[in-house]
Amino acid sequence: MIIVVDFGSQTTHLIARRIKEYGALSELVTPQKAIRTIRLKEPDGIILSGGPASVYEQGSPQIEKEIFDLGIPILGICYGMQLMSKIHGGRVVSGKKEYGPARLSLKSAAKELTAGKALPDKFTVWMSHGDEVKKPFIGAKILGSTDDVPYAYVGDVKNKLYGVQFHPEVEHTENGEVILKNFLSICGESVTNVPLSVPTLVKNIRKKVGDHYVIGALSGGVDSTVASVLMTEAIGEKFIPVYVDTGLMRYDTDEHIEKIFSHLKAKPITVKVKTEMFKRLKGITDPEDKRKAIGKLFIDTFDSEVKKLAGQGKHIKFLMQGTIYSDVIESRGTKHSANIKSHHNVGGLPKKMNLKLIEPVRQFYKDEVRKLGVMLKLPQEFVMKQPFPGPGYGVRIRGEITRERLASEIKADQIVMEELKFANVLDKVFISFSVMTGAMSTAVKGDGRHFGEVVALRIVESRDVMTATWARLPYDVLQKISSRIVNEIPEVSRVVYDISTKPPATMEWE
């Protein structure tokens, strides 16, 4: 077993997921409970996660120094490595902040770490840190460096204490899987691959729901679709899927929803609330406030539908949502994690609700949900549907949402999707969309001055949503998208392309 001490990183759960995938048991614990749990469980290894705090920040999460005297292999990741250095004879300073890709060069001593597969001499790693180790913990030698970080990879091989400034658990770190598997081997864990289990998920749903009815929020995305199919497998007709048409969903959602309803063999329930949505969003400009307003309307709508169904003898106890783990962690899912944004189905929900939540895929990442979709034999167009936020275009329009700006966003988004499909690259990117930025810029249209809004394009490659890099599209494709948007949408003055990685940027623009 591996104990993962959670210092609040956005990717702490991802560490535990990797360990589970490689066939070892893991348990997440808070720093406050770490030593007690370690003494009780006697794990084979300990991983100290990253986190948003500085090790010298008042109130930052700490851990007892005695952890180094237990004779258990330890791997510190980012904040975890910095904390190891701070409390075990090293020194940490507020150094050069670094987010995104960096090139790691290994020293010859690093070969001692390869209890499993050997690592190449150079490879790309993913950074996200503000502090910097100037002197590593006692006994540690440099195993790898980047151009900006000398102590990017350190280790005390004799005592099996290791630290990495980068994140081996994220998709975009090359050989991250090898590093984690090698650490498991050092801990004496056998490394295998463990498959997902649909029967286990279905069994858990039946146990929780019992004989009650469940109403479900179906948005058309892969998360809510897979969650809905799992619910149908578990409780059949006692699951009632509902599509709430806010007017903010992607232009092709209605047609896609009908296909899903047909696949579920469910009687479709569609509730149109576009007029009410505009009323509630009037004058709201803050993204968090928009998310909460949209979340509140969703709950009010479902409460209304529950009352109607009760009149038909169907008494609903649960509301199903397609929440996945990236939604949870960005909405401050753990004690020490930062609140990035309130997803409408997590932090955007009102505190008092009449229904209990059931979220079948809450503990999974996007790529895992897609694997479940394949296992459930869903059509490819369901499984590979591009992610689209629950609040829809509401979070892709900066500032107040008006009918005119919504129409411009819908048209721009449609152009993006059409041109990527025409260029045969749509299925090669993870997510692609336009943003009404709220920024204004001068343009020349028809030999006259035009002062219009700037549209940003966000097109990225990712697998699990926790990290992402911008798509290197051919210039002629970008040119075609830009020309069409500026020419076909009178209110737009120019188009810009977002080349930010995650981190530091998030997927969306709020």
Active site amino acids: 78, 167, 169
DSSP 398: -
The continuous run of DSSP H or E covering 291 comes out as: helix 287-310
Token pair in block for residue 503:
């981190």
Say how far apart CA 285 and CA 66 lie, in whole Å.
50
Phi and psi torsions of 103, nearest 5°: -100, 120
What are the Cα distances from residue 440, in Å, to 7, 412, 424, 436, 464? Answer: 41, 16, 32, 10, 34
d(CA 112, CA 159): 13
Task: Tell me the three state secondary structure of residue 349.
Answer: coil
Distance CA 121, CA 109 (A): 11
DSSP strands (E only) in 282-391: 316-320, 356-358
Provide the 8-state DSSP code for 276: H
According to DSSP, the β-strands at 141-145 and 153-156 are antiparallel
Task: For residue 447, count CB atoms less than 10 angstroms from its CB and return exposed for 0-12, middle for 13-18, buried for 19 or more.
Answer: exposed
Provide the 3-class DSSP secondary structure of residue 481: helix
Paired sense of beta strands 122-135 and 91-106, if any: antiparallel
Rg of the Cα atoms in the chain: 24
- How many other CB atoms are there within 10 angstroms of residue 307's CB atom? 11
Laid out side by side, the sheet with 239-245 consists of: 269-272, 239-245, 213-217, 316-320, 356-358
3-state SS assignment for residue 167: coil
Beta strand pairing call for 492-497 and 448-461: parallel
Give Cα separations from 19 to 22, 35, 300, 339, 428 (angstroms).
5, 20, 40, 25, 28
Among 332, 336, 331, 329, smallest CA distance to 59 is for 336
Let me know if 268 is exposed, middle or buried by CB neighbors in 10 A (0-12, 13-18, 19+). middle
